A = this chain, B = another copy of it.
Amino acid sequence: MDGLTLSRTDGQTLVEQVMETLRTRIAGRKAAPGTKLPSIRQLADQLGVSRSTVVEAYDRLVAEGIVQSRRGSGFYVAGHLPPFSLSDSGPALAREIDPLRITRQALDSRRIRSNPGCGWLPSSWMPQEEIRRALRSLARAPEASLTEYGTPLGLPELRGLLAVRMADSGVEAHPDQIMLTESGTQALDLVCRLLLEPGDRVLIDDPCYFNFLALFRAHRVEAIGVPRTPAGPDLDAFEAALKEHRPRLYITNSGPHNPTGTVLSPVACHRILRLAEAHDLLIVEDDIFADFEERPAPRLAAFDGLQHVIQIGSFSKTLSASIRCGYIAARPEWVDALVDLKLATSFGGGAMSAELVLHLLKEGSYRRHVQGMRTRLAGAMNALIPQLKAIGITPWHRPEAGVFLWCRLPNGVDGAALTRAAWEDGIVLAPGNAFSVSQGCGGLMRFNVAQMQEIGIIGDLASILAGGPEFS
C-alpha cells in the first residue's frame, strides 16, 4: 500500500484521520478484500503519527468490520468489499461541484428559495391543464392500461409517434427500433450496460451534463473530455483523443447542448461520423432538449442512419418530470439485447406513463404548448443577458434556443465559492466545474433562464458578488 498520505480534515482527531485514510483507500477499490495492510510500525512511519494512534485506528476499523485482524500475521482488508459508494469512487470533489450533491440540492425543495442551477422549467411553465385532462381521460380508458405491465418494447402507438417525430429531424427509425424506458437517464444507463465494460473509456464534451459524470462512475468507466467549441467538440482534440485513448463511446447532446446551449455545425457532424467509422467509435446522442429548438440543428443520428449512433430522449423537460418515460432508438440488431437488459433490471416500462405521454403528444395542444414555451424562453433569454452583464456576468455563447445560458463570471470570481455563498441564501447555482472533467471551468456558471425570472435573484447575486472574492 504505497503513497498513503494522511487525509486531514478539520475537527477530526488523528485516530479518525488515520481511519479515514484507510477507509477511503478500501472503499475506492484500491485495496481488495484479503489485501494485507501495513504493519503498525510501517503505517505510523508512513503517516507520521504515533504507533498508539495506529493501534487505536486499527482496533476501531476491526470493530467496524472493515479490517480483519489475523493473529500473529497482522491486519487485512476484511472479507467483502464495503458497499459501493459513488462519492468514494470518483475524484474527491468539493461539495459545491459534486454532481450528485448539486442534483440532491436542486431536488430537495424544502431548503430552496431560488433554483437557477437546476435543469428544468418552473412548474408554472409546464402544461398543467393538459396533464389534468389526460389524467381524466385515462380514468375513463379501458382497463388494460391501468394495471398491466407494458409490452417488452413498450406501447406500440407511442413508438409509432416517436418514429414520426424523429423523422421531423431527419432521423429514420422504424418503430421496432425504438424501445421505451422509464426515463432518459434509464435509457442512457441501459446503453452503458449494453456497450461498456468496467475500465472502458468514454469521450464527453468538456463541459457536459454533470449527471453523465455520475453515471460513468456507477459504470466504473473513465471519462475523457474534449473541449467544447461553439460549433461542437474541438475536432482536432477529438481525433487526438480517439487515437490516444481508444474510447468505446462518445456521449453528447446535439440539440441545444447542456450546459453551453451550442449546437453541432454540419461540418462537425460529418467529421465526427467519419472519425467514428475510422476508429470504431459508437455515439450516444441525447436528444432530450430537442423540442426547445425552433429549427432542428443537424443530428448525428440523421446523418448516420442509426448505424454508429444511438439516439435517446425523454419528455421530462417539455411535458412533465413526474410522468417517467424515455426512449432509445438503436440499430435493429441491438434492440433484443436492450429489451433483455431492461426486463432483467426493471422488468417492464411504466405502461401508465406511456399512455399519458401518448395522450399528451397526440393532442394538438402539445404543439401550441411547446411553441409558447419557446417564445417565452427567447424573451427570458433576451431580458436576462443585459441584466447579467450589468453585474459583470457575460454569456460565453448566445444560444439560438433552450433553457441554458453558459456564462463567464467576473474576473477572479470562483464558481464554487459563489455557489457556496448563494446556498447560504437558499439559492441553488450550477458552477462550471460541476460540468467539467478537466476542472477547467472554474470561472464559468450555467444559468437556467426560466428560473432566473424569479424576482430579486439578480439583486441577490449582485450582493453576494459585492461581498468580495470570498463572499464571506
A79 lies within 8 A of B246 (CB): yes
A60 within 8 A of B: no
B322 lies within 8 A of A351 (CB): yes
Kindly specify which of A38-46, A140-148, A298-306 makes contact with the partner chain.
Answer: A140-148
Proximity bits, A319-351, B CB within 8 Å = 1, else 0 = 111111000000000101101110111111111
B152 lies within 8 A of A107 (CB): yes
Which of B86, B126, B128, B136 meets A341, CB within 8 Å? B86
Residues of chain B contacted by A193 (CB below 8 angstroms): 84, 218
CB distance from A338 to the nearest CB of B (A): 9
A152 lies within 8 A of B108 (CB): yes
A150 lies within 8 A of B107 (CB): yes
What is the total number of copies of this protein in its complex? Answer: 2
A351 lies within 8 A of B147 (CB): no
A437 within 8 A of B: no
A350 lies within 8 A of B323 (CB): yes
A interface SS class: helix
Q: A148-B322, A322-B147 are in contact. Are A86 and B344 (CB under 8 A)?
A: yes
Q: How large is the interface on A (under 10, 10 to 19, 20 to 34, 35 or more residues)?
A: 35 or more
Tell me which residues from 274 to 333 in chain A have a Cβ below 8 Å from any Cβ of chain B: 280, 316, 319-324
B215 lies within 8 A of A322 (CB): no
In the complex, what distance in Å separates the CA atom of A247 from the CA atom of B120? Answer: 43
A123 within 8 A of B: yes
A195 within 8 A of B: yes
Which of A128, A336, A347 has the most chain B CB atoms closer than 10 A to its own CB? A347
A85 within 8 A of B: yes
Given contacts A124-B143, A321-B351, 7 further A-B contacts (CB under 8 A): A109-B148, A120-B148, A123-B144, A123-B147, A139-B139, A211-B343, A324-B350
**Closest CB pairs A-B (n = 7):** A126-B147, A214-B344, A135-B139, A322-B351, A185-B347, A322-B352, A147-B320
